[in-house]
Amino acid sequence: MKTIQSRLTIAYLLFGAAIASLGYTAFKNYKNQSDVHTQLGLGYKVEENIAKIKKGRSVKRARRELKALRPSMQPEARALAVSDIITAINRGSQGRINKSIRYFENVEAEFKRVSYKNLDVLKKNVEYYTVISITLFITLYLWAFIYLRKSVFYPIKRISKKMKDFLVDKYTYHFSVPPDNEIGELQNSFNSMAQKVLTQMDELQALDNAKSEFLSIASHELRTPMTSIKGSLGLLQSGVTENLNDASLNLLNIAEAETDRLIRLINDILDLSKIEARMLNFDPSWMNIKHVIIMTLESLDGLAKAANVHLVKVDLNDIYAPVDQDRIQQVLTNLISNAVKYSPDDGNVFVGMSFTNNGQLKISIKDEGVGIAPEDQKLIFEKFRQATGKDNPLVKGTGLGLAIAKAFVEEHNGVIGVESKPGNGSEFYFTLPNWSKKMPKEDKEEVA
Amino acid sequence: MKILLAEDDPNIAQIAKMTLEKLGGHEVIHAINGEEALEMALNTEVDLLLLDEMMPKMNGLSVCQEYQTSVSDPKPVIFLSAKSQVEDLEAFLTHGIGHIAKPFDPGSLVERINQLMEKHQA
């Protein structure tokens, strides 16, 4: 696989080696250049001393300096020529001194001629190698920039766009042929992942459809026989057939009450299944919660009167919240009718509003009933659970009311709960996190 | 009132017919499926159509739509249904004047029909 990493590595190694060797050559040439300059400088110093010797002034000192310069002289011929001058001075023969000086001057002239020629070459070499290494460096830099743009940044942008499209359900399989590198691998992995997710979504959709269909059939198949049973009982009770004696009427009443209970159970099960299948449209709008509570209380007035229980409003204020009215009414109905069911004769049910410590709106329903044992307090919100201890007479219900209320409250991001001490009544409450003291302008209140 | 009752379940049909006749004092003609209901609706003069939604051959909504497009002065339609999904209820209200949920109580069936008719005529 021609990976991006291997390409970059190879490019950096090759270019790096080339730039290093060229740079080194440039440096070598520069070094030689400065060596030549040093040697020329030494030559000038020798010539100064020779001038002194020619004039016969401070010859001893000049000889000492020549002796000091000699070891550094290059090439060897120049050092030997200087040695000759020193030897001649030591012997003290003027002729020999002159001869050795002439010899040195010849050697030095030749050296200068060659050196100046060499210096030209060296100078050109330094420039040449420096320019080539800088050019190579810029080329590598530009190539890396263009290569990364083309093979890394653009493809990553493209894949990132595909991912964002996927999130908003606009995913298409129209991907270019994946390049044979890390980006291609990323593209392939994302493609496989997206296809897996889509396949699973299709499967889930199919399951969801099957569940909807089942619910629809179940509703029909369960409700059809209930319709006949309830209708027959109702007609018998209404006396359309003939007059029935009290015992028969009593039996009919029992049959009808149990039929109603069965119908409620069927309705609750279907409702809960629909909530769980998310088939009920959640449609919140800003409502005055006080009005919703009062409406619910009015609808439960008959039930409360029949049980001789008093519904008492406590601290109800105009507070607005975005709620699905039907569901909040259902929650209130379930909680208040429970409170009525478990209330003693001539008892009170207090329906109030307050705020929690973390600023949520809290609606509470307090009764004066027998209360709920701590171990039952969590269980009652589960499906088909009712507190049925020995102090707590079995009250007829489906055991689904609180489960439905919990599901609805949680759809509003609220919390449902209960506080109770056995023998001391129960306080059921639920919270709504989003509320306001004024109706937001863009929503008009819908009063049913 | 003369009511056309379309209901495929014989037991429910019998109970509804008895309820409407004995408790409501209406005259009832009964169709056992969608096709028969449509034929009767087009050929018989009635005051109200009471249509079950789920019927063999033709469902209640189709009968209603067919009937309303074929007749110049269609009579009001009320649906009887065990369906309670929001979309279904919306369709019932668009095409008919209302909906009565199954299971129904005989007394309230008569009452609800009267209510819906009064609301419709108002």
For residues B29 and B16, give the distance between their C-alpha atoms in angstroms, rounded to a whole number.
Answer: 11
The owner of tokens 């049973």 is: A229
| pLDDT at site A201 | 87
For residues A313 and A332, give the distance between their C-alpha atoms in angstroms, rounded to a whole number.
Answer: 13
For residues A362 and A429, give the distance between their C-alpha atoms in angstroms, rounded to a whole number.
Answer: 7
Put simply, whether B83 touches A (Cβ < 8 Å) is yes
Q: H-type helices in A239-311, by residue range?
A: 246-276, 289-299, 301-306
Token readout for A419 is: 């506080």
For residues B6 and B22, give the distance between their C-alpha atoms in angstroms, rounded to a whole number.
Answer: 18
For residues B19 and B7, give the distance between their C-alpha atoms in angstroms, rounded to a whole number.
Answer: 14
Backbone angles phi and psi of A412, in degrees to 5? -90, 15
Nearest-CA distance B25 → chain A (Å): 12
Residue B110, classed as helix, strand or coil, is: helix
Residue of A228, A252, A324 best to disrupt the B interface, most CBs of B under 10 A? A228
Strands A320-323 and A310-314, how do they pair? Answer: unpaired
Could you state, in order of their start, the residue ranges of all structural domains in chain A? 4-161, 183-276, 285-432
Which residues from B are below 8 Å from A226, CB to CB?
Answer: 102-103
Q: Do A227 and B15 touch (CB under 8 A)?
A: yes
Parts of chain A with a pLDDT under 50: 389-395, 445-448
| pLDDT at site A446 | 47
CB atoms within 10 A of CB A26: 20
Select the residue of A220, A231, A281 nearest B106 (Cβ to Cβ): A231
Q: A285-432: which CATH number, 3.40.109.40, 3.40.5.90, 3.30.365.10, 3.30.565.10?
A: 3.30.565.10
pLDDT tens figures, A374-431: 888 877 887 666 555 444 444 455 667 888 888 889 889 999 999 988 888 899 999 9
Over residues B7-35, mean pLDDT: 92
Token readout for B42 is: 């087009």
For residues A418 and A334, give the distance between their C-alpha atoms in angstroms, rounded to a whole number.
Answer: 14
Could you state, in order of their start, the residue ranges of all structural domains in chain B? 2-121
| pLDDT at site A418 | 92
For residues A264 and A41, give the distance between their C-alpha atoms in angstroms, rounded to a whole number.
Answer: 116
Select the residue of B54, B83, B106 nearest A235 (Cβ to Cβ): B106
| pLDDT at site A169 | 77
Please name the amino acid found at residue A392: N
Q: Angle, nearest 10°, between helix axes A154-167 and A182-238?
A: 0
Please name the amino acid found at residue B48: L
Q: Is the ipTM of this complex over 0.85?
A: no
| pLDDT at site B93 | 86
Under 8 Å between Cβ of A293 and A332: yes
| pLDDT at site A445 | 47
Under 8 Å between Cβ of A360 and A370: no
Nearest-CA distance B61 → chain A (Å): 16
Q: Which of the four pLDDT bands, split at 50, 70 and 90, describes residue B17? A: very high
For residues A227 and A263, give the distance between their C-alpha atoms in angstroms, rounded to a whole number.
Answer: 9
Token readout for A18 is: 């080339």
| pLDDT at site A394 | 43
Please provide the CATH number assigned to the domain covering B2-121.
3.40.50.2300
Residue A392, CB half-sphere, CA atoms under 13 Å: how many?
Answer: 20
| pLDDT at site A391 | 44
Residue of B7, B8, B11, B87 best to disrupt the A interface, most CBs of A under 10 A? B11
E strands present in A124-242: none
Whether residue B54 has pLDDT greater than 90: no
- The chain-wide mean pLDDT, for chain B, equals 89
Backbone angles phi and psi of B4, in degrees to 5? -95, 120
CB atoms within 10 A of CB B73: 4
| pLDDT at site A180 | 81
| pLDDT at site A432 | 93
Q: Do A231 and B16 touch (CB under 8 A)?
A: yes
Residue of A229, A233, A235 best to disrupt the B interface, most CBs of B under 10 A? A235
Nearest-CA distance A172 → chain B (Å): 31
Backbone angles phi and psi of A25, in degrees to 5? -60, -45
| pLDDT at site B84 | 66
> Which residues contact residue B18 at a Cβ distance below 8 angstroms, ignoring those fewer than 6 apart?
A235, A240
Phi-psi map region of B52: left, alpha, beta (phi>0 left; psi -120 to 50 alpha)? beta
Considering Cα of A124, then A125, then A126, then A129, what sign does the dihedral take? positive
For residues A222 and A262, give the distance between their C-alpha atoms in angstroms, rounded to a whole number.
Answer: 10
Nearest-CA distance B94 → chain A (Å): 19
Closest Cα partner for B21 from B110, B120, B114, B116? B110
For residues B38 and B60, give the distance between their C-alpha atoms in angstroms, rounded to a whole number.
Answer: 9
